[in-house]
């Protein structure tokens, strides 16, 4: 990001977009990968077994779908959306990028929704995500897409982290996250909060309120929904770093991918997002195909969020002319 672009980024209500704590999400071109052979890949067998069981369970759950009541299916969709928002509006746009401000009640709701998504606690998720933006497509990127689709999708969770990921993650200050009591509370009580939000609540509601069997209530709204949210998030790291056009910056790998935009409720405008990571909409098109942006806008309307950062149209146009691939912009 050039100085002019940074200066042109403005809060919707007029304030400057930059603040020190978010600058760890901007690409750092001073980092150089170490020469010589790469460190050996160490497989974490516990994760391989758990992820295999989870995905076999999800396949079995698909076979159970015809036996579930329509209320249970609707509930599963609702749980999918709530947990996805815990990642997209919560861990991603609020806590990783500080692209808008959220009141205490909204932060509590997003933290609970984040536990429903069970993708590591907010602190860890945001740290890894800032490292991903800062060292994208290098050894220090936790899900370096240059290591292939499988690695950037799920493989990175099945092996020990590259030492540079750990080193660079440790060097981030993360003072804003440490100062957020909601983030630190969720981190402290992460395991019980996951048991409650990711498994117990999705299972209990259909069983208690409309008499669904516990078996189906476990496999569909809990296990299948969890697996689908995981894969939707992972597609942003894999597919949206490989397939699609690059209207904003051809010098980076992330792309505009409408399928990912759909599955990850608005996070597939990834060439835009890596070019302007501080934009709360992660797209120049606001709410279009972007349920997460609609959600944040609704929260602003209700007075629960404010100071949404946007990029000025002139800045986007100048960037498109300077570094874009000349393709039609998606959206």
- Residues of this chain that interact with Zn ion (CB under 5 A) are 254
Please report how close the Cβ of residue 169 comes to Zn ion at its closest, in angstroms: 15
Please report how close the Cβ of residue 167 comes to Zn ion at its closest, in angstroms: 20
- Write the secondary structure of 163-203 as one string of H (helix), E (strand) and C (coil): HHHHHHHHHCCCHHHHCCHHHHHHHHCHHHHHHHHHHHHHH
Burial class (CB in 10 A: 0-12, 13-18, 19+), 196: middle
Which C-beta is closer to Zn ion: that of 155 or that of 221?
155
Please report how close the Cβ of residue 141 comes to Zn ion at its closest, in angstroms: 8
- Rounded to whole angstroms, the Cα distance separating 152 from 235 reads 9
Q: Which residue is nearest to Zn ion (CB)?
A: 254
**18 neighbors 142 (Cβ within 8 angstroms):** no
Which C-beta is closer to Zn ion: that of 125 or that of 226?
125
Q: What is the DSSP letter of 220?
A: I
Please report how close the Cβ of residue 212 comes to Zn ion at its closest, in angstroms: 36
Please report how close the Cβ of residue 237 comes to Zn ion at its closest, in angstroms: 6
Q: Taking phi first (over 0 means left), then psi (-120 to 50 degrees means alpha), and beta for anything else, what does residue 98 get? A: left
Please report how close the Cβ of residue 267 comes to Zn ion at its closest, in angstroms: 8
Which C-beta is closer to Zn ion: that of 86 or that of 254?
254
Which C-beta is closer to Zn ion: that of 65 or that of 242?
242
**84 neighbors 110 (Cβ within 8 angstroms):** no
**172 neighbors 127 (Cβ within 8 angstroms):** yes
Which C-beta is closer to Zn ion: that of 212 or that of 279?
279
How far separated are the first and last CA of the chain, in Å rounded? 23
- What's the number of CA atoms in the CB half-sphere (13 Å) around residue 56? 6
Which C-beta is closer to Zn ion: that of 202 or that of 254?
254
């Amino acid at each position: 990001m050039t100085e002019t672009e940074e200066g042109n980024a403005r809060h919707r209500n007029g304030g400057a977009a930059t603040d020190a704590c978010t600058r760890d999400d901007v690409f750092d071109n001073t980092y150089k990968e170490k020469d010589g052979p790469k460190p050996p890949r160490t497989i974490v067998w516990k994760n391989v077994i758990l992820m295999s069981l989870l995905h076999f369970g999800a396949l079995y759950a698909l076979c159970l779908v015809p036996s579930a009541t329509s209320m249970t299916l609707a509930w599963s969709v609702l749980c999918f959306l709530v947990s996805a928002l815990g990642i997209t509006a919560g861990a991603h746009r609020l806590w990783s990028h500080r692209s808008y401000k959220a009141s205490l009640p909204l932060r509590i709701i997003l933290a609970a929704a984040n536990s429903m998504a069970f993708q590591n606690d907010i602190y860890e998720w945001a740290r890894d995500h800032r490292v991903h933006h800062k060292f994208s497509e290098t050894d220090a990127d936790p899900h370096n897409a240059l290591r292939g689709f499988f690695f950037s999708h799920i493989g990175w969770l099945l092996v020990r982290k590259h030492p540079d990921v750990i080193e660079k993650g440790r060097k981030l200050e993360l003072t804003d996250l440490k100062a957020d009591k909601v983030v630190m509370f969720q981190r402290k009580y992460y395991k019980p909060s996951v048991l409650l939000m990711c498994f117990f609540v999705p299972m209990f509601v259909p069983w208690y309120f409309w008499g669904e069997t516990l078996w189906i209530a476990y496999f569909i709204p809990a296990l299948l929904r969890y697996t689908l949210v995981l894969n939707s998030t992972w597609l942003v790291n894999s597919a949206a770093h490989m397939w699609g056009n690059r209207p904003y910056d051809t010098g980076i790998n992330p792309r505009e991918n409408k399928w990912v935009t759909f599955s990850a409720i608005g996070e597939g405008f990834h060439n835009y997002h890596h070019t302007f990571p501080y934009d709360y909409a992660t797209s120049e098109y606001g709410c279009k195909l972007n349920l997460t942006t609609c959600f944040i806008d609704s929260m602003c309307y209700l007075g629960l969020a404010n100071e949404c950062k946007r990029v000025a149209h002139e800045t986007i146009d100048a960037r498109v002319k300077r570094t874009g691939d000349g393709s039609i912009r998606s959206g």
